[in-house]
Each structure stands twice: as C-alpha cells, then as structure tokens.
Amino acid sequence: MQGLIDRLTALLNDGTVARVLGWKKGDMPYDPEPAIFNSAEELKDFVYDGFCGANLSKMMIEATKLEGKTAVCLKPCDTYSFNQLIREHRVNRDNAYIIGVGCRGKLDIGKIKKDAKGITEISGTELDGQEKVTIKTIYGDKEINYTDALLGRCHVCKGKEHMIADETWGESKDTADQERFEEVQKLEAMTAEERFEFFKNELSKCIRCNACRNVCPACSCRKCVFDNTKFDAQQKANVDSFEEKMFHIIRAFHVAGRCTDCGECSRVCPEGIPLHLFNRKFIKDIDKYYGEFQAGKDPEAQSPLTDFTFEDIEPGERG
C-alpha cells in the first residue's frame, strides 16, 4: 500500500493530477469509504485493502467535470464500468488518470461478522497480505481463510486484466471458482411457484433505500424514473410486494445490456437481497439470444438493446 501512496504523492506533487479519488480510512477497520484527496498531506488517510470493494468509476462522472485531472484507483472489474461510462459519454476520459490497482478479491464483512463479534482490528487483508485474515475481537483472536470471506461477485471474477488504465500497480489474482450463471440456472430449474416464492421472500425485504440505484455505475441518469415527489417516508411506503418487484425488474431492465455485472448492487444492499440475480438473468438471455456480450469490454461496442437483426427470435419463444 505504501508503494501506491508514494506513487500518488508523486503524481500530486509533479502536477500531473489535481486530485486523487481513492479510499479513506473509516471508523472501523472494515469500512473504508471513497474519498477525494486534494493534497499529498491528505493522503496519510489513504487506504487500500481487502475491504475497498467500492467501485469508484461512477464518482468519476462528477470528478471529471472539475478542473485538472483526477487520478482514480480502479480494480480490474471497475474498469469495465469505466469503459461503459466512456461509451455513454458520461465521463471525460481526458480528465482522468487511471491507476489500475491490483486485486486479489474483496472481502465481505457480513461473512466475517457471522463468526466474529466485537471486531477491533483486522490484519492480513492488504494486497500483499497473508492467506489467512487475522481478526482481533474483544472476545479473543480469530483466523479465517481469505478466500472464505470473499464477496459473492469475486467468486465469478471477470479476470485480472484491466480493460483501461494509464498505469498499473500491484499484482492481481483471478479468484473465479464458480460458474457465472450457476445461481440463475439453479433458479430456472425450479418450478414457477418456487421461483415466485423465492423472489417474493427476497424482495419483500426491500426497504426502498435506493442504495442499489445510487451505487450502480450504469444508473447514471440525471433524472431517474424512480425519483419520487412524495415526501420522506411516504415515497418508501411499501404497501404491496409488487412495488418492490416492479422497482427491481424495471431497474434491471434499464441497465440491461449496459450492466457490467460488477455486483455493487448486491454488495451495498442493507438487506442482503441478491439483486445481481436479475442483472445476470438479462445478461444470460442476451448472451443466449443475441450473442455473447460483455458490457464495458470494448468502449466502441454497440449495446444489444440498441441494436437488432432481422432474424431475432420472437418474444415468448424459448430458444
């Protein structure tokens, strides 16, 4: 991590960039938060470890509107989102200096907290850290395998290559150990009743906090259809389970063909709803009906939903 800070300090000092977008130490050892650093002194709070799961590319929409270049730290999977934003002309590439940081999978604090309460310190989560994560709690020390605490999305890692970067720092590791569409296929194999019950259960937990929308790099409309004129709690009133279903179906539909499957929606959901299942279903269908497509891989590629061929299958036909 010190090497990265040194490099960022050098970039700030020689005037290549005016600010750095990275992660800042949080109150707890496991909650670093995205932050802008304007000077080399501020960089003392900079942190990059296993808990820096946040995808910073969406913040570059606003950051690249500022004067001067902004250096941004992007993990391999974040670079897909950044490419997609370039494709949609939402970021100004000329104002961005991309540092492709290495990644060996990011940790899910929920999984760690399951058997470690009262955490005071966590070590071994850095990029060059150990295979075992040591957790100091007020009830004693615990050890856990790094790979056992990975975020769900890291089990279907898209690879260690940065799609776009001005320079890279650190070695990455491909942490994929699951089939990408395994969960979707499992659901598809169930009966309609079982699927309906599954989604009703999951979505009834939704509190309409809009965290999934706010974090999603593809959800970058200035005016959102879900912005509500009602006041405060009223807009969150949850009268019927269908409201949640409609919200999540429409949200997934709006990002269909543009979703890079970065998994941020599931990561930030305070209720732990597996929202990526919607996006992944659309990706699976697009792959199946319109040819394999990975959003953000190629900033020139045409999105499948803004394209067509004369031979497309008819709605309702199952190919």
Q: Which residues bind other proteins (CB under 8 A)?
A: 187-188, 192-199, 225, 239-240, 242-243, 245-246, 249-250, 252-253, 256, 278, 281-282, 285-286, 289-290, 304-308, 310, 312-317
Quick one: 25 or 284, whose CB is closer to other proteins? 284
Quick one: 169 or 290, whose CB is closer to other proteins? 290
Quick one: 139 or 196, whose CB is closer to other proteins? 196
Shortest distance in whole angstroms from residue 218 CB to other proteins: 15
Quick one: 197 or 271, whose CB is closer to other proteins? 197
Shortest distance in whole angstroms from residue 221 CB to other proteins: 14
Residues 6+ apart with CB under 8 A from 38: 18, 19
The residue length of the chain stands at: 319
Shortest distance in whole angstroms from residue 152 CB to other proteins: 19
SS (H, E, C) 271-302: CCCCCHHHHHHHHHHHHHHHCCCCCCCCCCCC
Shortest distance in whole angstroms from residue 126 CB to other proteins: 40
Shortest distance in whole angstroms from residue 319 CB to other proteins: 9
Quick one: 233 or 239, whose CB is closer to other proteins? 239
Q: Are strands 70-74 and 119-123 parallel, antiparallel or unpaired?
A: unpaired
> How far, in Å, CA of 19 to CA of 7, rounded?
13
Residues 6+ apart with CB under 8 A from 278: 248, 249, 251, 252
Quick one: 139 or 242, whose CB is closer to other proteins? 242
Burial class (CB in 10 A: 0-12, 13-18, 19+), 294: middle
Q: Are strands 96-101 and 70-74 parallel, antiparallel or unpaired?
A: parallel
Quick one: 1 or 187, whose CB is closer to other proteins? 187
Shortest distance in whole angstroms from residue 278 CB to other proteins: 7
At residue 30, what are phi and psi to the nearest 5 degrees? Answer: -115, 15
Angstrom distances, CA of residue 171 to CA of 55, 125, 174, 229, 246: 18, 14, 10, 47, 41
Shortest distance in whole angstroms from residue 250 CB to other proteins: 5
DSSP class per residue in 7-44: HHHHHHHTTS-SEEEEEE--SSTT--EEEEE-STTGGG
